[in-house]
Chain A
Amino acid sequence: MQKIILRTENLSKTFPGVQALKNINFELYKGEIHGIVGENGAGKSTFVKILGGIHQPDTGKIYLNGEQVEIRSPRDAKRLGITLIHQEITLVPHLTVAENILLGRLPTKKLFGFISVLNYDEMYSKAEEILDRIGVNIPVTSKVKELSVGEQQIVEIARALADEAQIICMDEPTSALSPYEIERLFDVIRSLKNGNVSVIYISHHINEIFEICDRVTVFRDGEKIGTFRVSDVTPEKIITLMIGRKLSQFYAYREKSTAIWETPILEIRNLSTRPIGAKALRLEKISLKVYPGEILGIFGLMGAGKTELAKAVFGVYKIEKGEILLEGEKIDIRRPLDAKRYGIVYVPEDRLREGLVLSMPVKCNITLPCLDNLTGSILIPQELERDIAMKWVNALRIAVPHIDFRAANLSGGNKQKVVIAKWLEMKPKVIIFDEPTMGIDVGAKEEIRKIISDLALQGIGIILISSEAEEVMSLADRIVVMRNGKIIGEFDRREVTKDDLLALASGVRREVKEDTKMGG
């Protein structure tokens, strides 16, 4: 019988408007690799954030080695030997690998018997010893910024080992890695297991789970559905459990399409991008068409390149090759201002950073993009501005006491509505929605989906980017699936099932099964 290192009992957590976790009973064995899978919003990340001390549970208990513990801060977690590794790297780029691994416990020696200075020899040998333990060969004297993302992640793992971590939680560690780097990471994870460290491994990529995990737990809507030995289940079964059998209330939302299938309102041909200084392309030969009144869904997992595509079209990222056509005519977009002038607008995923000026009132946020078009004068037409703001506050039912209310004080759903409202006065031809309902409570989610569907009804071409299969299934006319910067499939939404989309996007399957595919 295996030893249980970590156990949670009835762990629950509520965020405003959302029950993120419901009575989670979870067991982690010593030295196992335990996968956690679930759709977006299933509660996976919340769960490991509680273990890592970032969130506090509302109710429930956590036992470590049989003893009840309270994890009030990341410091507590570290002291108890629990380390969280997220997508974002938390290393100091200008310091060396060795310094990063041993940061916080740098070895020192005495100079002249009383001045304490860094002992570089010991630091390097210690760091090397830790890297040896996980079987990797990264020069400990090189600076972290010179390493690849995959190597940086390995350094993070090494740092966790230096901190004597017993449990390492990894949240989507492979989203930014190349296939070779993923293999290397997996080797490291396997060696952790031999060193009796337990790993909690969160991933959307079901095939990864089956490659390295011993057991897998499925989360859905904040609940634990079940834990299985991977040898006892199939990937298809796991996907079915993730989605659940109950069909959503949104599912049949838009039964009739309003698209006019003549000239595409927006066409992208062979678009490629490359991050500055990078060798590999980020997006590779993306081609797609959006028709007036159509909602084109773009589905893919985190890191598939969906946001990059949206930002390239909106003029934020430089396009290396490829063409963009608006109503059949080639256009040149170099910055968001150009895109706006052509009537192509973007509702960003990161609305706090890219969508809103939190220090300004709702009114000013709504009219910010359209001010230049209101009058030729340099003055702001005060009354017109109020009218416009009022019009959209009412039309989108934004809940604010008054339009001079600071945007910072709005709820998530209302913030998103303001970001949408600010584009509508411009009468855009194409709207790109990037994860429009992420992090928004259920009621507001439905309202925002209704807004999107109404906008399509007005003949606007809509690109809906989402990593929620349910969202694209319920709204889009056609669905494009992206993976690793490429389009790997395009479907009429009646041709595919949610299982197909997830299986394709996560790399479990390469094609839609023939029996589910009907003629287009």
Chain B
Amino acid sequence: MPSRESKDIREQLRIYVLALYSKEEFKPFVALIGIILVSSILSPYYLTIYNWRTILAQASPYIILAIGETLIILMGSIDLSPGSVLALSGAVTASCIMLLGLPVWLSVLIGLAIGGILGLINGIMVTKAKIPSFVATLAMLAAARGLTLIITGGRPISGLPDEFTRLAGFVYNIPVPFLITLIVLFFTTFLLKYTKIGRYVYAIGGNEEAARFSGINVDAVKIVIFTLSGILYGLAGIIIAARLASAYPQAGVGYELDAIASSVLGGVQLIGGLGSPIGALIGTLILITITNILILLNVNPYYQFVVKGFVLALAATTLTRGLRYTK
């Protein structure tokens, strides 16, 4: 007969498991583990250090983008501009180094600042001009891409110095971009969990009307978060430029869809209010792993998009259960 104590422990355990299960990240996490298991059975190359170096290095800018997108989606908005903001930040940083001869650290700061300014403009368009975020950031998607083409003249800026490309190097087999990603993950998780502005992000996404009726300065929160996300997109752009040792004018085309897809796959609710940066990380790893295993299995790369679309739609059906209808 079980003692009372062991019953209590079991009861405690049940509560923990329930709490874990009710987290939005739980299902995506299980899915990721499943995909990793299946992948390691399908291909002997999958679970090698070399392959994971590549996966993590490749995934890092995507994860940072997805985290930025997640911040926006948590507020119930959407951002279509990450790909273009990323490109402009990368191009500006590269131009500063190659054309203006500025020091690398300063160029990187300027690149980040450009991302921040574009995010700030997004935020002002949404709050002050009251343009729905879908349209405001669609405008930014076009404008920032245009600026990138103007700055680069449509040609890549290549030959970036080692001092800069070191940003995409390795420390003991760990890609530097992934270390940066971990810092971003830690920082944003802390921001959302322990600071007032993080709390307001969840409140706005959960019920913007109630947040306004609680006397929260909703516009200010939105502007700050759009700016922060812009800086994160800029960071991703700089990492990509460092990895390729050049800034391409076409960098990041279509990445906004990956960012949104990763957020959704990671359990972030598109209507806002529920989800986390960890979810964005998990979502991105799911997408990247699927791409990776398809490459290892020599599947025609064109199929990747079909598989990605299929996985996204499948995941979305499990997230919207219980809703009466969606638009």
User: Are the CB atoms of B214 and A353 closer together than 8 Å?
Assistant: no
A412 at the interface (CB under 8 A from B): no
Chain B residues with CB under 8 Å of chain A are 194-197, 199-200, 202-203, 205-207, 209-217, 273-274
Q: Which residues of B contact A372 (CB under 8 A)?
A: 196
A339 at the interface (CB under 8 A from B): yes
Q: How far is the CB of A481 from chain B (nearest CB, A)?
A: 26
Tell me the complex Cα distance, A341–B209, Å.
Answer: 18
Q: Which residues of B contact A340 (CB under 8 A)?
A: 214-215
User: Are the CB atoms of B199 and A368 closer together than 8 Å?
Assistant: yes
User: Are the CB atoms of B207 and A358 closer together than 8 Å?
Assistant: yes
Q: Which residues of B contact A360 (CB under 8 A)?
A: 202-203, 206, 273
Tell me the complex Cα distance, A360–B201, Å.
Answer: 11
1/0 per residue A351-392: CB within 8 Å of B?
Answer: 001111111100010001101100000111010000000000
Chain A residues with CB under 8 Å of chain B are 314, 316, 335-337, 339-341, 345-346, 348, 353-360, 364, 368-369, 371-372, 378-380, 382, 422
A-B contact count (CB 8 A): 74
If A337-B217, A353-B210 touch, whether A368 touches B203 (CB-CB below 8 Å) is: yes
Tell me the complex Cα distance, A336–B209, Å.
Answer: 11
Cβ contacts A to B, 28 pairs, < 8 Å: A316-B213, A335-B212, A336-B214, A337-B215, A339-B215, A340-B215, A348-B213, A354-B209, A354-B213, A355-B210, A356-B207, A356-B210, A357-B207, A357-B273, A358-B207, A359-B206, A359-B274, A360-B202, A360-B206, A360-B273, A364-B199, A368-B211, A369-B215, A371-B196, A371-B200, A372-B196, A380-B194, A380-B195
User: Are the CB atoms of B194 and A379 closer together than 8 Å?
Assistant: yes
The 9 residue pairs across chains A and B that have the minimum distance between CB atoms: A340-B215, A357-B206, A359-B206, A359-B273, A369-B214, A337-B215, A357-B207, A354-B213, A368-B214
If A357-B210, A359-B273, A359-B274 touch, whether A371 touches B199 (CB-CB below 8 Å) is: yes
Tell me the complex Cα distance, A382–B203, Å.
Answer: 17
Q: Which residues of B contact A341 (CB under 8 A)?
A: 215
Q: Which residues of A contact B207 (CB under 8 A)?
A: 353, 356-359
Tell me the complex Cα distance, A372–B217, Å.
Answer: 10
If A358-B206, A359-B273 touch, whether A336 touches B213 (CB-CB below 8 Å) is: yes
Tell me the complex Cα distance, A379–B273, Å.
Answer: 20
Q: Which residues of A contact B202 (CB under 8 A)?
A: 357, 359-360, 364
- Of B195, B210, B216, the contact of A379 (CB 8 Å cutoff): B195
11 other contacts beyond A356-B207, A378-B196, A378-B197, with CB at 8 A cut-off?
A336-B212, A337-B215, A337-B217, A340-B214, A358-B207, A359-B202, A359-B205, A360-B203, A368-B211, A371-B199, A379-B194
Q: How far is the CB of A233 from chain B (nearest CB, A)?
A: 44
Q: How far is the CB of B322 from chain A (nearest CB, A)?
A: 12
Q: Which residues of A contact B209 (CB under 8 A)?
A: 353-354
Tell me the complex Cα distance, A162–B194, Å.
Answer: 58
Q: Which residues of A contact B195 (CB under 8 A)?
A: 378-380
Tell me the complex Cα distance, A394–B195, Å.
Answer: 26
Q: How far is the CB of A6 from chain B (nearest CB, A)?
A: 30
Q: Which of A339, A345, A354, A359 has most chain B Cβ within 10 Å?
A: A359
If A379-B195, A380-B195 touch, whether A422 touches B206 (CB-CB below 8 Å) is: no
If A378-B196, A379-B195, A380-B195 touch, whether A364 touches B213 (CB-CB below 8 Å) is: no
Q: Which residues of B contact A354 (CB under 8 A)?
A: 209-210, 213
Tell me the complex Cα distance, A224–B185, Å.
Answer: 63
Q: How far is the CB of A74 from chain B (nearest CB, A)?
A: 14
Tell me the complex Cα distance, A372–B207, Å.
Answer: 19
Tell me the complex Cα distance, A422–B203, Å.
Answer: 14
